[in-house]
Amino acid sequence: MLGREPKDFDVVTNARPEEIRKLFSRSRIIGRRFRLVHVRFGREIVEVATFRAVPRDVEETEPHDVEAELNDDETPEEEDAPPPPSDQNIFGTQEEDAVRRDFTVNALYYNIRDLSVMDYVGGVDDLRAGVIRIIGDPETRYREDPVRMLRAVRFAAKLGFRIEEKTAAPIHDLAELLATVSPARMFEEVLKLFHGGYAAETFEQLRRNGLFRYLFPLTEECMAGEGGTFPTLLVPRALANTDARVNEDKPVTPAFLFAAMLWEPARRRMQVDLARGRPYTEALTHAADVVLAEQLKHISVPRRFSTPMREIWDLQHRLEQPSASSALRLVTHPRFRAAYDFLLLCAETGGADPAMAKWWTDFQLKDEDGRREMTAALAPSPKKRRGRRRRGGRNRSPNSHPAIG
């Protein structure tokens, strides 16, 4: 309806999971909290859900996030086991299912019988008006599931819509509820926010609505009160770079995203340790430990991303102060390209020497002889003093020789 290609469809029916299972031989019922059916067609799996209704006789204690439920990755349930009691498995009509969804534009049904769009909540009008409107009382729905505040911002940024006034009104006051969401779920939400091709606009809306500080509190603290300085410029510039890569179908990695988000807090922590006399490498390692430990309270960062993030940081000092021998080795480092891109961002925003960034750009364009020519002009590598040591730790005299046996 917007002239865009949907990334997927949610398949939903009035048939119960057991009925769907009988209809398709290559299918299985999965989930305990939210039962649905995986139907296999060749290599594809189609998730089929049953219309749900809001519990009528019990107080709702679980959030009703349909998108999260349809991606439930709980251990598949035995197909012949009786369904467990769950508020999430109260089945209902299609209209009841629509009311459970979060936003009106996200609650439209495409009827494959007559190719019509079925709208129970005014979603078509809001779609045409470019409005994100929550279904039901905004404060109640946000308290059910605080992630809906992030989804409101994400949809608005992605579609270029505005958040309806009543839908937006409680967000500032309820933003602190994000602290109750599990860090693992927040990690998934952050990837949706910043790896969809509209990260720069999403970032602006998150800050405007008071949500960003509950995602990256240390980053927000560094940016608060800054005007046009390095920490304020680096993050939006990095996000704009990510958007460009996504829109050009180039790969992006959470490691680079978190490296950009957390670099200024880590850098400031490192400066404290350097002032106390700690060596650079030790200061950076300690700063990374401190910053990451605090960040993990809010967003889980799997080690497969936190490790390369730290490597990107570690390479910055080596890229800014290359020696004649280290330069040739650095370009073969598996994180060189990401670290180089990060150096360019820092140079563009006042956090690194632009001349050094240009040096590395030119260096990569040279052939082997050209690279050796450039490195010859660099300062030689500092030599490490090495002394032979006797067994037991004492230095040998210059004229002594090891015993032969």
Got the DSSP string for 114-164?
Answer: TTEEEESSSHHHHHHHTEE-BSS-HHHHHHH-THHHHHHHHHHHHHT-EE-
Sign of CA dihedral 347, 350, 353, 358: positive
Work out whether the CA dihedral 250, 251, 255, 261 comes out positive or negative. Answer: positive
CA–CA dist 274, 283 (Å, integer): 6
| Span between the terminal Cα atoms of the chain, in Å | 85
**CB of 159 closer than 8 Å to CB of 130:** yes
Phi/psi of residue 111, each to 5°?
-85, 115
**How sure is the predictor about 381, in pLDDT bands with cuts at 50, 70 and 90?**
low
Q: For the segment 226-282, what is each residue's pLDDT rounded down to a tens digit?
A: 555 666 789 999 999 999 999 999 999 999 999 999 999 999 999 999 999 999 999
DSSP 52: B
pLDDT of residue 276: 95
Concerning whether 8 is annotated as a catalytic residue, the answer is yes
Nearest alpha-carbon partner for 171 in 202, 192, 141: 141
Q: Which residues pair with 41 in a beta bridge?
A: 44
pLDDT of residue 394 exceeding 90: no
- What pLDDT does residue 137 have? 97
Considering just the CA atoms, what is the radius of gyration of the chain in Å? Answer: 28
Catalytic residue of the set 10, 72, 87, 314: 10
d(CA 199, CA 261): 12
Residue among 8, 57, 114, 367 flagged as catalytic: 8
Q: What residue spans define the domains of the chain? A: 1-100, 212-379
The 10s digit of each residue's pLDDT in 152-174 is 999 999 999 999 999 999 999 99
For all residues of the chain together, what is the average pLDDT? 86
pTM of the model: 0.82
Q: How far apart are CA 68 and CA 8, in angstroms?
A: 14
Distance CA 374, CA 369 (A): 9
In the chain, the largest separation of any two C-alpha atoms, in whole Å, equals 96
372 φ, ψ to 5°?
-65, -35
Q: What is the pLDDT of residue 99?
A: 93
97: annotated active-site residue: no
Using alpha carbons, list the distances in angstroms from residue 244 to 192, 241, 321: 16, 5, 29
CATH architecture assigned to 212-379: Orthogonal Bundle (1.10)
Q: What's the distance, CA 150 to chain centroid?
A: 13
Q: Which two tokens stand for residue 81?
A: 């086991």
Answer yes or no: 102 catalytic: yes
From 97, 102, 145, 243, active-site residue: 102
